[in-house]
Structure 1
Amino acid sequence: MDTTTAQRSTLESELRARVRGEVIGRDHAEYDRARAVWNGLVDRHPSLIVRCVDTDDVVACVEAAARHRPPVSIRGGGHQVAGSAVCDDGLVIDLSRMRGVRVDPVARLARVQGGALWQDVDAATQVHGLATPGGEVSETGVAGLTLGGGLGLLQRAFGLACDNVVSMEVVTADGVVRTASAIENPDLFWTLRGAGRGVGVVTEFTFALHPVGPDVATAGFAFEAEDAASVFAAWREVALAAPESVAPEFALWSLPPFAGLPEEFVGRSVALAFGTFIGDPDDATPVLESFSRLGDPLLDLSGTSTWVETQSAYDPTLPAGARYYWKSHFVDDIDPATIATLAEHASRRPDARCAVIVRTLGGAIDRVGPDGTAYAHRGARFNVSIDGIWTDPALDEACIGWVRGLWSALEPVSRGVYLNFAGFGEDGVRDRVLGRNARRVDRIRRAYDPDGLFDEAARQP
């Protein structure tokens, strides 16, 4: 439903009278910057954006939205690939000014506001030699990643981001500030961990912390692209046998201009095999040694770096404003035919920045029961992410088509789709994201939002 001029004016007046944060309309000098998100492919025009400064501002936004019923979207870090942080012709509840992180090193807990980025969390927790599972890019928003499940380098050692949430502060559709935890509103807590969009506005997370760093060791090797199939087959065996302290990843990509990379290798199409050891780097060598025997590498990228450096290493390759379209599949295994499909499609990437990334699952992820959270993909062995990355609008059709083509080719082996890498929600992926949890999620959403205030947010992948 579009917001009429009269509705927009009334809503804007009410919000200006109630909130301490900034209210941004279409005639505001900050409007274009405020509506922009990380993905430059997303170009949406909300009626109003409210940059909240605290939970009271969020309550005011929710209550006003309930009265005037504009479409509503919620912006945390603004990094979600589908751009669900911003809606057309509606109200954006923007938490980007709420980035505080408070650490209790004795209890090993971190309280994190809903607009924080993972770089905010890592900076605060690493002072104490602690971390919680997050993403693999430091500019990723905490809220979006966590509510969708939360894959990352610590997942096999300590579980998904959503598995490490102890409690959440949530403003539900009735404007009530609720605590969601295993004890308080446990049904809401269950839903928010893996299917959290469209239930309310999470203004604060409390995460469990674990000893990590300050340094971590990574085995990393680049191989000729034409050797991708044989190297992947060897990597698969190593990945499946790896202990939970190792995060094995494989990528088909072109080498970006990493610091220290010889100029002749920049832009070269390669197969990349990695294993990051979550533990004392002095203990890493015997655990990571098998990654050195996958084939005849072009480059040895292995080394030791701080956890903060590891988490931000790929930030320059994924800049704000570039164009992104990502889709994924969870799979139980990757057989030779699937390996051949990945290698063949990767050889036809329409832009050197496009990539195929395979992440190894299992470990602590599977120590949570299949019904423990709304995240529906316990037991999957791998996630295959197909990442379209480019900057030239003239390549939109080619890059999106390449992602969709490989995604379709992998459908026969798919057991589900990751909420955070689900394209723009097309292809009827909702049931494949939520699996058998879909009906339970819908019941809980409707219990907390009977009038569908957050339905627009729930429809976004």
Structure 2
Amino acid sequence: MTRNPLDPAAVDELRGRFGGGIVTPGDGDYEDVRSVFNAMLTARPQVIARCGTPQDVADALAFAREQALPVAVRSGGHSVAGSCLVDGGLVIDVRPMNDVAVDPQQGTARVGGGACWADLDRATQPHGLATTGGRVSTTGIAGLTLGGGSGWLERKFGLSCDNLLSADLVTADGREVTANEHEHPDLFWALHGGGGNFGVATSLTFRLHPLPEFSIALLLWPGERGREVLGTYRDLAAHGPDELGGGVLYLTGPPEEFVPQHLHGTLCCAVLATYVGGVGELRDLIAPLLALEPPGQVVTDIPYADLQSMLDDPPGYRNYWSDEHLEEVPDEVLDRFAARARDMVVPSPSQQAFFPWGGAVSRGRDWPGFDRSAVWAVHPLGLWEDPADDERAVRWARNVCADVRPWASGDVYLNFIGDEGPNRVVAGYGEENYRTLARIKAEFDPDNVFNRWHNVLPYREGEQLADAR
């Protein structure tokens, strides 16, 4: 949709009263500030408001109302669905609000709405504390948490949202609201998976957990050994303790010292086993995998924050992700999963991942995110450079999910997918939860200003509930 350009005088007036920075297409830093993780997202906002305080957020929202501009909110920029950009509109960029305050006595941390996981992990590590973050360090904390928050520590400590104690938001009308178990408890419930549908998160407070020891095993085989590895991993993970996390991934063999040179740039099957404990115990637990004699292997104690940053992918790749959840994994699922890996774009940073849920994830509270009875997740994560590979890469990701769909639970973790239509949004919440979220949406965002993140449509009593499908 083409929008009329803004009156420069109106933008200058905003700059004059705005505490943070205002960036527009004519500014030299516009492209850097606009750039996001997924290079397929090319939306060009008219204004990017770099907010340093909640008042900045309120002022930016007021300007958007005055100018009838659509709004997007950016905390990190990893959203594969493109929720952090809006063409011709205004982006509320809270990345300058990235402060972290750790209280080791209380076992809590308060973070700004623009902090990424590296900020929190590095601040908690000196205290021997951690909470579940994403699987890389560059992901925004707010976006990941409000959408659920899957990560390497989830089987032991639950999802990121399970550890959320409080959140401060600025609502669409500029109000500052705190949501926790005692203040606005319905909104607090909605923030555990309901995403950015209800306001702009300016700070979040988390429960931290002791993490005195942490270890990993990164094991690598040639791709043709993948089916054997998958079967061994399935049986191991199904009976492993909560402390054992990780997953199986098909990927391109990286040019690292521990990888034999003949596997560099080729299709490989890898296991990343993470363990809340020491390396000796981890070796005992993964003995069946080590017996498969991986030609590439690293088994070591490691600071958790170092693991988080070890897997960071640089921005600028084209991305397409998807997700299916399984309640059981018969041999046919593994056969199909292994066969489909041959269609990956190689070499590239793409990954075809198979993760165990279970543990503390399955024992989490009844938040509005995905159905936690599923114990496995199949997650094709497509990243590639050449636009000529778009059709092939997207088809591969969709086929990975189609292959296992006969065994799928029907729900989805929305942080793992792009725009797959409104039916998938409802599937991500469940129909009953979606209806409850729609009522909460009507209270805090009746005009649906925040509509970019797997949108929940507002519903008021007495009206017909909008059919998201």
Where on the TM-score scale, by shorter chain, does this alignment land: which range? over 0.9
Structure 1 equivalent of residue 165 of structure 2: 166
Asked if structure 2 preserves the Cα contact closer than 8 Å seen for 1:58 and 1:93, the reply is yes
Out of 423, 447, 459, the position equivalent to 2:418 is: 423
User: What CA distance in whole angstroms lies between the structure 1 residues aligned with 2:201 and 2:420?
Assistant: 22
Count the aligned residue pairs. 453
Q: How does 1:184-263 map to 2 (within 5 A)?
A: 184-213=183-212, 215-263=213-261
Q: Which moved more, 1:93-102 or 1:262-271?
A: 262-271
In the other structure, the counterpart of 1:54 is 53
227-236 or 153-162, larger mean C-alpha shift: 227-236
Quote the offset at 1:306 in angstroms: 1.6
Gap change, CA 1:95 and 1:350, over 3 Å in 2 = same
Flag the 1:256–1:64 CA change in 2: closer, same or farther, 3 A.
Answer: same
> 1:195 is paired with a residue of what secondary structure?
coil
Correspondent of 1:298 among 295, 300, 304: 295
- Give, in whole Å, the separation in 1 of the partners of 2:121 and 2:249: 25
- Corresponding residue for 1:398? 392
**Residue correspondence of structure 1 range 307-326 to structure 2 within 5 A:** 307-315=304-312, 318-326=313-321
1:20 positional shift: 1.0
State the shift of 1:233 in Å. Answer: 1.4
Q: What 5-or-longer segments of structure 2 have no aligned partner?
A: 457-469
The code of the aligned residue for 1:176 comes to R
Match of 2:80, SS state, is coil
Question: Aligned partners of 1:428, 1:259: CA distance in 2, in Å?
Answer: 45
Of all paired residues, the percent bearing the same amino acid is 35
Q: How far apart are residue 230 of structure 1 and its match?
A: 2.5
C-alpha change, 1:226 and 1:264, in structure 2 (3 Å) is closer
CA shift for structure 1 position 285: 3.5
User: Equivalent residue for 1:452?
Assistant: 448
1:364 paired to 2:360: yes
Instruction: Say if 1:456 and 1:238 are closer, same or farther in 2 by CA, change over 3 A.
Output: closer
8 A contact 1:222–1:301 mirrored in 2: no
Assess, with a 3 A threshold, how the Cα gap between structure 1 residues 104 and 239 changes in structure 2: closer, same or farther.
same
Partner SS state of residue 361, structure 2: helix
Conserved 8 A contact 1:14-1:64 = no
Read off the aligned partner of 1:297 and give its amino acid letter. Answer: P
CA contact (8 A) 1:327 1:423 kept: yes
* Paired position in structure 2 for 1:414: 408
Distance 1:261 1:229, change over 3 A: closer
**272-281 or 82-91, larger mean C-alpha shift:** 272-281
TM-aligned CA deviation for residue 190 of structure 1? 0.8
Rounded Cα–Cα distance in structure 1 between residues aligned with 2:53 and 2:193: 25
Look up the SS of the partner of 2:402 in the other structure.
helix
What secondary structure is seen at the aligned counterpart in 1 of 2:294?
coil
Letter in 2 for 1:361: W
Q: Secondary structure at the match of 1:34?
A: helix
Equivalents in 2 of 1:456, 1:142: separation in Å?
A: 18
Q: Name structure 1 gaps, 5 residues minimum.
A: none
Partner of 2:337: 342
User: Where do 1:27-38 residues align within 5 Å?
Assistant: 27-38=26-37
Deviations 1:290-318 (A, max 9, x none): 4324x342223322222121111111xx2
- Partner secondary structure for residue 220 of structure 2: strand
Q: Which residue matches 1:438?
A: 434
> Alignment RMSD, CA only?
1.9
The answer for the alignment partner of 2:4 in structure 1 is: 4
Following superposition, the deviation at residue 5 of structure 1 comes to: 2.6
2:53 is aligned with 1:79: no
Whether contact under 8 Å (2:259, 2:297) holds in the other structure is no
Q: Partners of 1:172 and 1:159 in 2: how far apart? A: 28
Distance, in Å, in 1 between the alignment partners of 2:28 and 2:228 is 55
Aligned-residue offset at 1:403: 1.1
What amino acid maps onto 2:329 in structure 1? Answer: I
Q: In terms of mean alpha carbon deviation, does 266-275 or 99-108 score higher? A: 266-275
Give 1:258 shift. Answer: 2.6
Q: CA deviation at 1:41?
A: 1.6
Task: Give distance in 1, aligned partners of 2:452 and 2:70.
Answer: 6
Q: Which amino acid aligns with 2:192?
A: R
Q: CA deviation at 1:447?
A: 1.4
| The one of 277, 297, 308 aligned to 1:279 | 277
C-alpha distance in 1, partners of 2:34/2:186?
33
Partner amino acid for 2:174? Answer: G
* Most deviating of 219-228 and 166-175: 219-228
